[in-house]
């Protein structure tokens, strides 16, 4: 290859790299992804396009800071999420622990094959040890065995546990735990049943 040819190739290569850099700098990849989702995906049952395409402030901030988050951002997320928690409408925190166990075992829900209004599960065992009778459980989250036995049933414990189940980000910004109440995954009655599973002295969790 002659020196002139080498110069032309080098120039073309530099131009190509510069062109790629320009495209990358000028492209709004987030908007492009959202446009693609809205064009190629269709809502089916409870699996809606909006669940993917529409993000609240907490989700946006968690995406903006996927790892290290400034303290002021953490405080902002947690304060906003705690303020959005709705306490039990009748003031009663505990339901039936037997139903709570069924919810903890059930991982089904909010899929395109589910009917609108179908009952969702909590899939709690996917991340937590809860009852000693269940030997198949995940360890992404802490063990909840003897949760109520160790903490009691004080008003502070009831409030904290409800808030945590309703919206985990109220106490841990960008938590991997689903926002069960906030996102309508579990109903108020279901939340009370899971509360009973964790806190009722007669629950196998507290043996």
Could you read off the pLDDT of 70-100 as tens digits, one per residue? 999 999 999 999 999 999 999 999 999 999 9
Residue 53 to residue 184: CA distance in whole angstroms: 17
Q: Given this model, what pLDDT does residue 25 score?
A: 58
């009691």: which residue's tokens?
152
Query: Hey, what are 33's tokens?
Result: 């992804």
Query: Hey, what are 56's tokens?
Result: 């609240």
Give the residue among 63, 58, 65 at the shortest CA–CA distance from 34: 63
pLDDT digits (tens, 9 = 90+) for 158-192: 999 999 999 999 999 999 999 999 999 999 999 99
Residue 87 to residue 188: CA distance in whole angstroms: 9
Q: Given this model, what pLDDT does residue 18 score?
A: 43
Q: Which residues contact 110 (CB under 8 A, 6 or more apart)?
A: 46, 47, 51, 120, 185
């902002």: which residue's tokens?
76
């629950």: which residue's tokens?
203
pTM, whole model, 2 decimals?
Answer: 0.82
Above pLDDT 90, what percent of the chain? 69
Average pLDDT over residues 14-43: 66
């Amino acid at each position: 290859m002659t020196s002139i040819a080498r110069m032309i190739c080098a120039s073309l290569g530099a131009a190509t790299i510069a062109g790629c850099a320009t495209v990358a700098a000028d492209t709004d990849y987030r908007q492009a992804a959202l446009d693609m989702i809205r064009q190629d995906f269709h809502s089916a049952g409870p699996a809606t396009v909006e669940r993917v395409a529409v993000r609240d402030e907490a989700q946006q901030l968690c995406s903006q800071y996927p790892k290290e988050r400034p303290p002021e951002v953490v405080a902002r997320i947690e304060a906003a999420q705690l303020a959005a928690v709705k306490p039990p409408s009748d003031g009663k925190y505990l339901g039936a622990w037997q139903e709570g166990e069924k919810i903890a075992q059930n991982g089904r829900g909010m899929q395109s094959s589910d009917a609108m209004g179908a009952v969702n599960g909590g899939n709690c065992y996917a991340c937590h040890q809860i009852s000693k009778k269940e030997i198949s459980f995940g360890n992404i989250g802490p063990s909840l065995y003897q949760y109520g036995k160790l903490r009691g049933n004080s008003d502070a414990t009831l409030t904290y546990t409800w808030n945590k189940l309703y919206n985990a980000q109220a106490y841990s910004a960008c938590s991997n735990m689903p926002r069960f109440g906030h996102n309508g995954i579990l109903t108020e009655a279901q939340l009370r049943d899971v509360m009973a599973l964790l806190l009722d002295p007669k629950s196998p969790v507290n043996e």
